[in-house]
Amino acid sequence: MIPGAPIVVIEGVRARDGAGEAGRSRGSLVGATASLGAGVHAVLGAPEDGTLALAELLAGRAAPLAGRVLVAGREPFRSAAARARIGVLAAAPELPDGASVASSMSVALRARGAPSSGAAALLEPLGVAPLLVRRKASLSFAEARAVELSLALGVPQPLLICLVEPFADVAVPSPEPVRERLRALADGGACVVLITSSTADARALADRIHVLDRGVIARTEPGDGDRLAGAPSAAAPGAARTEVELHVLLHERGPDAPGARALAAALASVPAVRACAWEQGPPDASSTLRIRAADREAAALAILDAAAREDVTLAAIASPAPSMHDVRAATALHLAAVRPRRPFGAPGAGAAPLPGAPPHGPVAVAAFGAPAPPGPAPSDPPPGPAPSDPPPGPAPAGMLPVAPSNAAAGGQTGADPPLADGAPRPPETGRHDAR
């Protein structure tokens, strides 16, 4: 192979899996295209998006209906030499026939030209060596996948390691040895493909994240995954800056002590914070703030400074992984931004329309003070308040005003009075959007 050349090439592939009931298709590919080199690649999607169909193609267990799949220049479905250098963890265990795990692994090792005595050496690094003496029929689903995972990671001179959900339903004591082995294989020049629906797993290990959306690879993001649920890519025309989300866990010391509400008020006028929502817990419990910001490090420093000023006790600051729902919503915006010349959802060359797409062009969504996309200004609204405008009067309980105020400047707010019947007020939630 030429150094730096792609190891896996997927060109306009159409395929269906057989994972549904009675062998029917559960998901399909409708023109997927990608070039994957050495490193760790996460393909993020659900079976309905075609992830299982892609796994069957990469493993050489099926041929595409159209297009082609190449591994090191060879079609894995037609080349036994290519398949011998591909490690595979399928969605369901498929161990070779054998009365015991040892005999089953021996069959697999002999098939790829390796000594059958090396089974124990494959199981030990993952901490599952005791499975070697078990009967194959006694293995649980997760234990059988652990044995298959050890075989996949032990392929000699691997070109491709294709793993379906390697950190789910796999009976290994710790995922760390698996992550270390995958990183070592990638650093050694192999192409490692993690097919998963877990954004946390994708962000934790992958160098590149490829979002598979309804049969096509719709977008690719860096391995840190900050843009997975953010605004469209910065390369897209008129795109907004990427936003990150931080979750702040803090301890409520008492009814009169500063807590989530005081910290949210202190962050209201901080430029590094674009929006903040909080869920306040009862005294001697925990509260949570959800922060939206353009820069994670600047926002974290602002949170620490505000907590010190307000004498708030922080328990943790974390950056949560987005859900698949968040990724799908962001992918729809991404596709709308990179296809500005035709209505979003209209069929194009080699692409199928996206179900549920609006018929009259891209939809602009403004959130957390993001700039509006370029284009003609909408027609002037009729005079009078908009239907969504709040009625005049004081702000609802638990909400911070947008305009600067004593609370927005970081002042503390006392405990709310009890209800009319003397009962304490329930835990409150609130939100403010920075402008």
- For 348-400, give the secondary structure using H, E and C: ECCECCCCCCCCCCCCCCCCCCCCCCCCCCCCCCCCCCCCCCCCCCCCCCCCC
CA dihedral of 72, 221, 334, 198, whole degrees rounded to 10 = 90
The structure tokens 């929006």 sit at 275
- Secondary structure class of 315 (helix, strand, coil): strand
**Sheet architecture: strand order including 86-89:** 86-89, 160-164, 191-196, 39-44, 208-213, 216-222
Helix (H) or strand (E) holding 181: helix 176-187
Strand-pairing partners, residue 9, are 35, 70
The structure tokens 């796999």 sit at 170
Per-residue pLDDT of the chain (435 residues; tens, 9 = 90+): 566 789 999 999 999 998 888 888 999 999 999 999 999 999 999 999 999 999 999 999 999 999 999 999 999 999 999 999 999 999 999 899 889 999 999 999 988 888 878 899 999 999 999 999 999 999 999 999 999 999 999 999 999 999 999 999 999 999 999 999 999 999 999 999 999 999 999 988 999 999 999 999 999 988 877 678 765 544 444 444 567 788 898 888 877 888 888 899 899 888 889 888 888 777 777 888 888 888 888 889 999 999 999 998 898 888 778 888 888 888 888 777 766 554 444 455 444 444 444 443 333 222 333 344 444 544 444 555 544 444 544 444 343 443 343 433 333 444 455 555 555 555 555 555 554
65 C-beta neighbours (distance < 10 Å), count: 12
Amino acid, res. 79: S
The dihedral built from the CA positions of residue 332, 334, 339 and 343, taken in this order, carries a sign that is: positive
Amino acid, res. 261: R
Strands (E), 93-151: none
pLDDT at 418: 53
pLDDT at 222: 87
Angle at 83 between CA 77 and CA 84, to 5 degrees: 155
Phi, psi of 432 (to 5 degrees): -140, 150
**Helix, strand, coil content of the chain in percent (nearest 5):** 25, 20, 50
CB 371 within 8 A of CB 380: no
Predicted structure pTM score: 0.68
Instruction: Report the C-alpha gap between 247 and 270 in whole angstroms.
Output: 17
Instruction: Report the C-alpha gap between 38 and 32 in whole angstroms.
Output: 19
pLDDT at 387: 47
Q: Which residue, among 60, 47, 309, has the nearest Cα to 197 in the 3D structure? A: 47
Instruction: Report the C-alpha gap between 76 and 146 in whole angstroms.
Output: 24
What the block records as the tokens of 109 is: 């090792």
Instruction: Report the C-alpha gap between 197 and 42 in whole angstroms.
Output: 9
What the block records as the tokens of 381 is: 């609204």
Amino acid, res. 121: A
